[in-house]
Amino acid sequence: MRPALAGFWYFLAAFALGFALGTIRVLIAAPRLGEFIAVLLELPLMLAASWYFSAAIVRKFAVPPRIPARLVMGGAGFALLMAAEMALGFFGFGRSLADQFALLLQPPGALGLAGQVAFALIPALQARKG
């Protein structure tokens, strides 16, 4: 149960920062630089923050350094993140689920999805490191 709860807080921290950075990306960076470059600039910030969030949440919830526990944490965070992204796209931007999945096949969306998969793996990578 602890890893799943940690995954919830991991998602919440990343989603809050991602919402703020995403707003800057959509309103400022993408119109000037293009969507792909804007995502490319945002991604390292999100991954660095996710590394920090993961380490802090692992300590707070005493998630064991075993790979299965860390995969549960990352998987829960990833599942919630994807659900929130889909809900935001649907309710915030009026995109159908099919449209949102189609966006993941475009270069900016594929890059973002790769970053989200990396986000999911960070807790397990930290377990291997420690």
Residue spans of the domains in the chain: they are 2-129
Summarised one tens digit per residue, pLDDT across range 12-56 is 999 999 999 999 999 999 999 999 999 999 999 999 999 999 999
How much of the chain exceeds pLDDT 90, in percent?
A: 97
First to last CA, the chain: 22
**d(C-alpha 81, C-alpha 75), whole Å:** 10
The band of 129, judged by pLDDT with boundaries at 50, 70 and 90, is low
Q: What is the DSSP string of 46-59?
A: HHHHHHHHHHHHHH
Residue 82 confidence (pLDDT) above 80: yes
Residue 130 confidence (pLDDT) above 60: no
**d(C-alpha 37, C-alpha 28), whole Å:** 12
Q: Name, in order, each residue with C-beta under 8 angstroms of 127's C-beta and a sequence gap of 6 or more.
A: 65, 66, 67, 69, 70
